[in-house]
Amino acid sequence: MAAEGEGIAAVPVAACPPPASVPPAASGSTMLDATVEEVEKERVLAALMKFRKFDPPIFEGEKVEPWMVESWVDSMETLFEDLYTLEKDKVYLATHCLEWTAKVWWKRIKRNRASDLPPLSWEEFRGLFCSNYFPDSEKKKLQEQFRKLKQGNRTVAEYEREFSHIIDCVLDVVRDDRDRADWFERGLRSDIYKAVHILKFTTFAEVLDRALWAEQGNAHVHEEREASERDGGKK
């Protein structure tokens, strides 16, 4: 014990520094980043499970016809709209519907894309997809085929199937429904064209319905004429 009145020198106590390898701020930031990443993974997985419940069509990339490409893209975009899909999720969800050679194509796209570029947007993906499976050269062939398309000796229904098939593949060959009706009417056989054109219809449904009606009427008249000729021959 010190004598009374003597001062006692204070002994400084050094504070213990945190471990140099794990700074407190950095450790907290790392944990936060890991939590955010985990939450994002769960969100994306939930979006994928919800997407699959609607049975999206699979694209295999084998024996591809133009209408298959347009149909698949349209199906994807319809589902995106119905499910209020976030833009950043669209490519992720759609590429889960690729199989066989289409899946190989997608892996090659990812492998060849520079690592410093942002993820592909849906617009970019759709452009690459259509360029690969429905190139402009094929699209131009169908456009030319559409401009020359005529009913000829086919039935109205057969003519309509090919007509609509091309429109489904190349959406920009017609401007709107009235333009579609005009193109269809111009390609009808002359006898049916006259029966349709005189009524000045403005919608495709009306033109098609009248063409089918005229075809049926012509067939009925033809049958009656043949029956009359047979009866006359017998007499």
> pLDDT per position in the chain (235 positions), as tens?
444 444 445 445 445 555 555 455 555 667 777 788 888 899 999 999 999 999 999 999 998 888 889 889 999 999 999 999 999 999 999 999 999 999 999 999 999 998 888 989 999 999 899 889 988 888 899 999 999 999 999 999 999 999 998 888 787 899 999 999 999 999 999 999 999 999 999 999 999 999 999 999 776 655 556 655 666 656 5
Task: Count the Cβ atoms, other than its own, within 10 Å of residue 148.
Answer: 7
Task: Dihedral sign for Cα 169, 175, 181, 187, please.
Answer: negative
Residue 3 lies in a domain: no
- Best CA proximity match to 65, nearest among 158, 144, 165, 192: 165
121: in domain: yes
**Of 106, 134, 162, the domain-final residue:** 134
Same domain, 167 and 125: no
- Same-domain status, 84 and 115: yes
Give the range of the structural domain holding residue 113, as residue numbers without chain letter. Answer: 47-134
Q: Is residue 166 situated within a structural domain?
A: yes
On whether residue 89 sits in a domain, the answer given is yes
Q: Are residues 112 and 178 in the same domain?
A: no
The 10 Å Cβ neighbour count of residue 154 is: 13
Between CA 7 and CA 11, with CA 10 as vertex, the angle to 5 degrees is 140
Same domain, 156 and 128: no
Dist CA 205 CA 207 (whole Å): 6
Specify whether 64 is located in the same domain as 111: yes
Do residues 129 and 156 both lie within one domain?
no
For residue 36, tell me if it sits in a domain: no
Closest among 56, 86, 93 to 71, alpha carbons compared: 56
One domain for residues 74 and 103: yes
Which phi and psi (to 5°) does residue 98 adopt?
-95, 135
In a shared domain, residues 122 and 194 = no
Main-chain phi, psi angles of 59, to 5 degrees: -115, 120
Enter the DSSP assignment of 171.
Answer: G
Determine, yes or no, domain membership for 61.
yes
CB 146 within 8 Å of CB 180: no
Q: Indicate if 111 and 187 belong to the same structural domain.
A: no
Based on the fold, state whether residues 173 and 108 are members of the same structural domain: no
Q: What's the number of domains the chain is made of?
A: 2
Same domain, 181 and 130: no
Asked if residue 51 is part of any domain, the answer here is: yes
Please answer whether residues 57 and 15 qualify as being in contact, where contact means their C-beta atoms are separated by less than 8 angstroms.
no
What is the DSSP code (8-state) at residue 54?
T
Beta carbons of 151 and 159 less than 8 angstroms apart: yes
Question: Which of these three, 134, 161, 189, is where a domain ends?
Answer: 134
Look up the pTM and report it. Answer: 0.59
User: Which of 134, 169, 188 corresponds to the end of one domain?
Assistant: 134
Identify the residue whose tokens are 């490409």. Answer: 69
How close are the terminal C-alpha atoms of the chain, in Å?
153
Question: Do 130 and 60 belong together in one domain?
Answer: yes
Check residue 100 and give left, alpha or beta (phi > 0: left; psi -120 to 50: alpha). left
Residue 27 lies in a domain: no
